[in-house]
Structure 1
C-alpha cells in the first residue's frame, strides 16, 4: 500500500505539470489524497463506478479511473473536468499509480524476505528460490549493521534512515524492533576491517546532530553467501549488547573486537557469582574507592607499565607502587604479575556484566 504522503506528492507534482485537479479515494470512497480546494463526497459515485465493468467513466463533470493491482481494484482516481486533455491526464496518472503499486509491492516483498532471512525463518531452498524471484544476488559479500539512532530511546523512522543513508541497490535497510534499524550492506571484495569501520562512521555522520551524539552502531563479520546473513546479524546484535556493557564510551562496535567481553556475556549468572566469591573472598569490588579504581583502569590501559601509569596519573612512581601493594593486601592479587592482572580484569568485567543483567527487565 502506497502511503498517503506519496499519493499526495504525486498528485501535487502532476497538477503543476497538467493544471488538472485530481484526487485518490479508496474502494469505500474515503479521500486519501487530493488537489481539490474543498473535499467533495464521492462515496455513492465510487460505489456505482466500482460495480460497473468500465475502467473509466464520466460522472457529473468528473472523470473516474480504476487503479488496479494484479486485477484487483486498489484505488479510484478522480479528475476534474470531462475534456480529452483531462482524460489523457487521468489515464497517465492511473498508470503512474499502478507502477508505484508494483514498485512498493516489490520493496515490501524484499523487506519481508530480508526480515525472515535475518531471523532464520527460511529453509535453505526457500532462500535461493525467493532470492532468484526478487533478483537478489546470493553470492555478494555482505555485512550486517545495527543502528540505534538514539541509544535506548525510540529509533528514528525507517523511511527517515533510508533517506539519510541513501542505500544502493545491493543494500537493504529494514527494522525488526522499534529501537533499531538493520542495514544489510553489500561490500567490495577489497573491503577489510578499516573500510567496515569507515562505513559505520559514514552512517553515523548521515544522522542529524542531535541523534548522532547518542547513536550506537554495531556490526558483525563479513559473509560471502546470502544464507549466512543471519549469522552476521546475530553477531551484530551481540556486539550491540556487549558494547553497551563494556564499551559505553564507543559509538561504533565491531563483533571481531569484543575480546573477552563476548565470552563473559555468555556466562550464566550463578557461575559469575561463584567466580567473584572465589576471587574476592566474599568481598565486593564495589568497596574499592574511586582512587583505587582509577589506578587499576589506568594501569590496564598502559599494559601494566608502572612508569607510564604514574606519569599519566601525575603521581610519583613510589606512590603507584604503594597503591598496588595496598591492592594486593586487599585482594591477594599483584597487578604487576600478568596472571593476577588478567584475573582482576576479568573479575571487574564480570561484576559489570552482573550489574547490567540485574537492571535488565528480563533478569
Structure 2
C-alpha cells in the first residue's frame, strides 16, 4: 500500500531534519509517523485543523498542511516546528508525498489499469498478470459505454457517472478527454442487452437533469475477458460515428442495432456515388423539398400505409397520393411499390453518408 511508502519517506525526513514528521488522513488518524508508535492514533490537532478553512496552521509545536485533491482533503501532512520558518520543509515533504501517491496510483490503481487496456497502452500478455495483482476478475462479462458530453459546470461528467456506478471493484469510469468518458460495466450474462440499453438511458437522463447537457452514448458488445475491452470500446466508437451519421435524431447508439448504416459505412465512397447517380439521375433528389422529405419519412414509418400516413400528417388522402405521384415524376421511383421504396430508402441513407463524408 502507498502508506508504506509514506512511512519510509517520513523516516528519511525525520532522520535528516531531526524532527517528527508524518501524515494523517482527513479525520486526523495517523497513517505514517517518524514515531512508529503513533500510527493508528488520532491526532486531535489535525482533526480540528481539517475543519478549518486555512491551508496551513501552526498548532502546539506542529506545522500542519492540507493535501487537497478533487476538492476534498486527501491527507494532512505535518512536521515538528516552533514557527513558520519550517514551512519550506513541510512543503517539500508534501510534494514528495504527492509524487509517491501519483507513482503508486499509476502502478496499482485499477482505473489506470483499465484505461491502459482501453487505449491499448499495455501489452496483451501483461493484462492477465496485472489483473491478478489488482484482484480484478479477468473473465467477468463486461460492456463498454462511450459517453460524449460537455459540461460547463464545476461538476464533471465523470463524477456523475462515478456516482451512478460506485462499485469501483467491478465498474470502471475512465476519462478519455474533456468530452469523452468511458464506462466499463460488469453485466450478469452475455445476452443482457435490454438492461445494457436501459442503463444507457439512465445515464443520458441523469446527465440531462444534473448538468443540463445532452449526452450521446455508443455501446459496444458484451465481452467475456479484460483483453477484449479494447474491442468493445472500438465498437462503441464505431456506434457513435455511424449513429451520428444515420440516426442523428437519437442519442444512444448500440453496435448491435446499427441497421443499414453499418453496411453503407463500409462501402467504398466511389461505389456509393455510382449507386446514387444510378438511382437519382440528374440529381433529382435535390429537387425534393423539406415538406416532401417529411412526407416520405412518415410514409416509411407507417410501412407504406397511405391512409395512416395522411392521418398523421393531417392531410387528405388524395393530397398524399398527389405528393407520391410528384415524387415518382421527379425520381422515377414509385414509393407505394416495396422494391422502389427500399431503393429510395437506401439511396437517401447513402446520400446522407456522402454528405457527411464531404463535410
Report the TM-score when normalising by structure 2: 0.71
How many residues align? The count is: 302
Structure 1 residue 191 displacement after superposition: 6.0
Alpha-carbon deviation of 1:198?
1.2
Measure how far apart 1:155 and its partner are.
Answer: 11
C-alpha contact (below 8 Å) 1:150/1:216 kept by paired residues: no
Deviations 1:221-258 (A, max 9, x none): 11122222222111111111122122222222211111
1:117–1:38 Cα change, 3 Å: closer
Evaluate the alpha carbon distance shift between residue 313 and residue 196 of structure 1 in structure 2; reply closer, same or farther with a 3 A threshold. Answer: same
Unpaired segments of 5 or more residues in structure 2?
4-23, 30-41, 68-74, 83-93
Give the equivalent residue in structure 2 for 1:206: 206
Give the aligned partner of residue 131 of structure 1: 131
Q: Distance in 1 between matches of 2:272 and 2:26?
A: 62
Residues 154-182 of structure 1: CA deviation (Å, up to 9, x unaligned): 99736523543233120111022332100
Please, which moves more after superposition, 101-110 or 182-191?
101-110
CA distance in 2, matches of 1:108, 1:156: 26
After TM superposition, give the deviation of residue 124 of structure 1 in Å: 3.5
Distance across 1 between alignment mates of 2:347 and 2:153: 33
Work out the CA distance in 2 between the residues paired with 1:38 and 1:222. 47
Given that 1:155 and 1:180 are in contact with CA atoms closer than 8 Å, whether structure 2 keeps it comes out as: no
Normalised TM-score (structure 1): 0.70
- 2:28 pairs with 1:14: yes
1:77-116 mapped onto 2 (5 Å cutoff): 77-79=77-79, 101=101, 105=105, 109-116=109-116
Q: Higher mean Cα deviation, 201-210 or 247-256?
A: 201-210
What residue number does 1:220 align with?
220
1:1-363 equivalence runs, <5 A: 13-14=27-28, 18-21=43-46, 37=54, 61-62=61-62, 77-79=77-79, 101=101, 105=105, 109-150=109-150, 157=156, 159-168=158-167, 169-189=169-189, 192-207=192-207, 209=209, 211-359=211-359
CA spacing shift, 1:120–1:163, aligned 2, 3 Å: closer
Contact 1:217 1:251 in 2 (8 A): yes
Compared CA separation, residues 136 and 38, structure 1 to 2 (3 A): closer
In structure 2, relative to structure 1, the CA distance for the partners of 1:38 and 1:227 (3 Å cut) is closer
Q: Which residues of structure 1 form unaligned runs of 5+?
A: 3-9, 25-32, 43-59, 68-74, 83-93
| Secondary structure in 2 matching 1:354 | helix
Query: Would the alpha carbon gap of residues 155 and 242 (structure 1) be closer, same or farther in structure 2, given more than 3 Å must change?
Result: farther
